[in-house]
Amino acid sequence: MLLGPALAISAVLFTLGVAGVLLRRNVIVIFICVELMLNAVNLTFVALSQHLGVGGQVFVFFVMAVAAAEAAVGLAIILAVYRHQRSVDLQNMRLLKG
Amino acid sequence: MSTLTVFWIFGVIAMLGGLLCITRRSPIGSALWLVVTLFALAAMFVLLDAQFLAALQVLVYAGAIMVLFLFVIMLLNLGRPGPSDIRGTMGIGVAIVLAGVLLFQLRVLGTAAPPEAIALPPGTMAALQQREGIIGSVAGPLFDAYLIPFEIASVLLLAAIVGAVVLAKKRL
């Protein structure tokens, strides 16, 4: 009964996350948008687990573990880059640009 | 109020939180609106028979991960509103078009349903939770069928801890 609305809301949240990644230049905000996308997928997992068994809920655990690891390492990388560049704007990170 | 109405209320809160999250100028605002979205998602998890995950969502996501984000934002002193980091008109147009295409592709999800052959009869999850408890119904498969992924996740977390410590050193 709730499956359709849950999947629709999840699609909208995922699209908002993608739009945020495309729209912003601040690395931390892009990171926050990635978290938004992960949460949209979590909602899909939970909604489908109601119909396809508890495995979906177990997968959300792993998504949370990966998100926690990603946040810790990603924010450490951002701090290291900030110490180097004094900026978190993607415009100033163009060392690889030809 | 029916369950569906409550579900849509929290869904609208989540979508509004997401929209405000990607449009706020200050990163602090973005992070706090994401917390609103996370709480709305936790409420939706409760309505979808995943009470334990709802508690974890609040504790781990809103409690731990977002605090890490806010900590880094405040450490880098990004809280005060500076020049906007939203891309120019061209970038906004490209983002809206690409996101619109994605939403158009995902629109079928609103009417999607699992195939009859593999779908469980309605109320199976509620019955399972009655029988094994709310946590037990998730913990059973986690330590049984998914034991090896669980161990791999612990190795991943260890690698993340070591990586974060190494990256945070004064000189790399």
Compute the nearest-CA separation of B11 from chain A (Å): 6
> Can you tell me the distance from the alpha carbon of B137 to that of B129, in angstroms, rounded to the nearest whole number?
6
Q: Which two tokens stand for residue B26?
A: 């200050």
CA A27 to the chain's CA centroid? 12
Q: Mean pLDDT over residues B147-162, rounded?
A: 94
What percentage of chain B has pLDDT greater than the value 70?
Answer: 97
> Can you tell me the distance from the alpha carbon of B50 to that of B17, in angstroms, rounded to the nearest whole number?
22
As a whole number, the mean pLDDT across chain B is 88
What percentage of chain B has pLDDT greater than the value 90?
Answer: 47
Which residue type does B83 have?
P
Each residue's pLDDT tens digit, B21-55? 999 888 899 999 999 999 999 999 999 989 999 99
What is the predicted ipTM?
0.92
Question: With respect to CATH, is domain A3-92 assigned 1.10.287.3510?
Answer: yes
Domains of chain B, by residue range, sit at: 1-84, 118-172
> Can you tell me the distance from the alpha carbon of A19 to that of A40, in angstroms, rounded to the nearest whole number?
13
Domains of chain A, by residue range, sit at: 3-92
Give which of B76, B24, B146 is closest to A32, Cα–Cα. Answer: B24
Ranges of beta strands (E only) in B56-161 are: none
User: pLDDT higher for B170 or A50?
Assistant: A50
- Report the residue of A3, A7, A10, A16 to disrupt the B interface, i.e. the one with the largest count of B CBs within 10 Å: A16
* A73 interface with B at CB cutoff 8 Å: yes
Verify whether the Cβ–Cβ distance B106 to A80 is below 8 Å.
no
> Can you tell me the distance from the alpha carbon of A28 to that of B25, in angstroms, rounded to the nearest whole number?
12
Q: Mean pLDDT over residues B69-80, rounded?
A: 85
CA dihedral A25, A11, A56, A69 (to 10 degrees): 0
| Top mean-pLDDT range of A47-56, A64-73, A78-87, B87-96 | A64-73
Q: Which two tokens stand for residue B107?
A: 């629109």
Give, to the nearest 10 degrees, the angle between helix A55-85 and helix A27-52: 180
* B160 interface with A at CB cutoff 8 Å: yes
pTM of structure: 0.91
Q: B116: how many CB neighbours lie within 10 A of its CB?
A: 6
- Report the residue of A14, A24, A33 to disrupt the B interface, i.e. the one with the largest count of B CBs within 10 Å: A24
For domain B1-84, give its CATH number from 1.20.120.1200, 3.40.50.920, 3.10.180.10, 3.10.270.10.
1.20.120.1200
Strand partners, B86: A24
Verify whether the Cβ–Cβ distance A9 to B18 is below 8 Å.
no
Q: Mean pLDDT over residues A74-93, rounded?
A: 86
What is the band of B82 on the pLDDT scale with cuts at 50, 70, 90?
A: low
Q: Mean pLDDT over residues B158-170, rounded?
A: 89
Q: In this model, does residue A84 exceed pLDDT 70? A: yes
Q: In this model, does residue B172 exceed pLDDT 80? A: no
The three-state secondary structure class of B46 is helix
> Can you tell me the distance from the alpha carbon of B75 to that of B82, in angstroms, rounded to the nearest whole number?
16
Q: In this model, does residue B165 exceed pLDDT 80? A: yes
Given the structure tokens 């009964």, which residue do they identify? A1
> Can you tell me the distance from the alpha carbon of A11 to that of A17, in angstroms, rounded to the nearest whole number?
10
> Can you tell me the distance from the alpha carbon of A60 to that of B44, in angstroms, rounded to the nearest whole number?
14
* A79 interface with B at CB cutoff 8 Å: yes
Do the Cβ atoms of B79 and B26 come closer than 8 Å?
Answer: yes
